Amino acid sequence: MTMKSQFTAVVPVAGSGTRLRPHTHSFPKVLLTVGSKPILGHITDQLTGAGIRKIVFVVGQFGEKIQAYVSKAYPRLEAVYVRQEQPLGLGHAVWTAREHVSGPMLVLLGDTILDADIKRFIIGGGNKIGVRVVDDPRRFGVVEQKRGIITKLVEKPAHPRSNLAIVGVYSFQDSRPVFRSLDRIVARAAASHGEIQLTDALMDMVRGCSILKVLPVAGWYDCGKPDALLATNRHLLDKLPGKTLKFQGSLIIPPVYIAPGAKIERSIIGPYVSVGAGASICSSVVRDSIINEKAVIENAILDQSLVGPSAVFRDGMQRVNIGESSEISLEDGQL
Ligand code: UTP
């Protein structure tokens, strides 16, 4: 049995997901399927698996879709939804949750699936920031540390003095100092109109003599860009327990995930294909692709493609990246 935790988790999912357009024009990035469930499902499973009972989701313009998914998939979770009117930065997203958090807090980004045991972040006390050695630290928030204690944090440094990147999981034994620092950073940013970074609030805490420790994690699976999402899909499908899937008249080449209720007829599916609930694939060949819920694929050959929920793709052979409810039907010869 999992021990219940006093930690409140804050999961920011209000970002605009610009790198995953066109999907994110009409659909929240974190509800796109990867492996056998939406990105947010993997993250919520990790949190509940670590004993967390309360999660504050910081939502943006697609808040209702996120609430509908979470309340259906996790009916016993104490879920709170707070709205961040504009994506002003991760620090601002966490600050938006302040009235719903007391006591210990864990922050986990809504779009990064970590290869980490979240329990290590909530046991043993102290403040812990998840880190990993990376090749190019200039793209990340970076920490400098001495014997495991953080001395400096810098967001996307031009000349990094460390290769330890912040991976997107943070735990705080007491949330009050974090919100005090965020109050200061938010007030300062209001004057400068800059992005409100969580890294800056953590640096403010370090200056105020809070002790933040680094906690290394094995890795993370980025879902921020189409290629990264497909790579994460391949990785998660490799980890699924091997199950022989049979659809009469079709060939399924594992690893593949096909949600219950999806229709597969006269097709070759796999390897590395994830098919969402209610999707329909007929007379097609699909490999290395994610076909989201209720999408329709007919007479098509698809490779390395992302097909959004309820999108329709007919009579084509190409690599596609099509958003929710779009329809593409190609005439004869237009391949
Ligand atoms: P990212 O900056 O990686 O994601 O934020 P994004 O903004 O959604 O995507 P791009 O960069 O435009 O493609 C990391 C996490 O923090 C959340 C995002 O939703 C994501 O889960 N976030 C970010 C917020 O909730 N609010 C913000 O203001 C910024």
Quote the ligand 1 centre to 254 CA distance (angstroms).
33
User: Alpha-carbon distance 25 to 194, whole Å?
Assistant: 24
pLDDT at 324: 78
Verify whether ligand 1 is closer than 6 Å to residue 334 (CB atom).
no
Verify whether ligand 1 is closer than 6 Å to residue 93 (CB atom).
yes
Backbone phi, then psi, for 136, in 5-degree steps? -120, 85
293-328 tens-digit pLDDT: 999 999 999 999 999 999 999 988 777 788 877 777
**Does 286 score more than 90 pLDDT?**
yes
User: Which amino acid makes up residue 172?
Assistant: F
pLDDT at 334: 45
Of the candidate CATH numbers 2.160.10.10, 1.10.3720.10, 3.40.50.720, 2.40.110.10, the domain formed by 240-332 belongs to: 2.160.10.10
105-159 tens-digit pLDDT: 999 999 889 999 999 999 999 999 999 999 999 999 999 999 999 999 999 999 9
User: For ligand 1, atom 15, which residue shows the shortest CA distance?
Assistant: 109
pTM of the entire predicted model: 0.93
Residues of the chain within CATH 3.90.550.10 domain(s) are 8-222
Quote the ligand 1 centre to 89 CA distance (angstroms).
7
User: Alpha-carbon distance 119 to 117, whole Å?
Assistant: 5
Of residues 240 and 181, more confidently modeled: 181
Quote the ligand 1 centre to 136 CA distance (angstroms).
20
Residues of the chain within CATH 2.160.10.10 domain(s) are 240-332
Q: Which ligand 1 atom is at minimum distance from the Cα of 224?
A: 13
Sign, Cα dihedral of 113, 281, 24, 329: positive
pLDDT band at 209 (very low <50, low <70, confident <90, very high): very high
Phi/psi-derived region of residue 48, left when phi > 0, alpha when psi is between -120 and 50, beta in every other case: alpha
pLDDT at 335: 40
Of the candidate CATH numbers 3.40.640.10, 3.40.50.1820, 3.90.550.10, 3.40.50.920, the domain formed by 8-222 belongs to: 3.90.550.10
> Quick check: 200 and 157 in contact, CB under 8 A?
no
Q: Which ligand 1 atom is at minimum distance from the Cα of 88?
A: 28
**Does 193 score more than 80 pLDDT?**
no
Verify whether ligand 1 is closer than 6 Å to residue 58 (CB atom).
yes
- Within 13 Å, how many C-alpha atoms sit on residue 306's CB side? 26
Average pLDDT over residues 11-31: 89
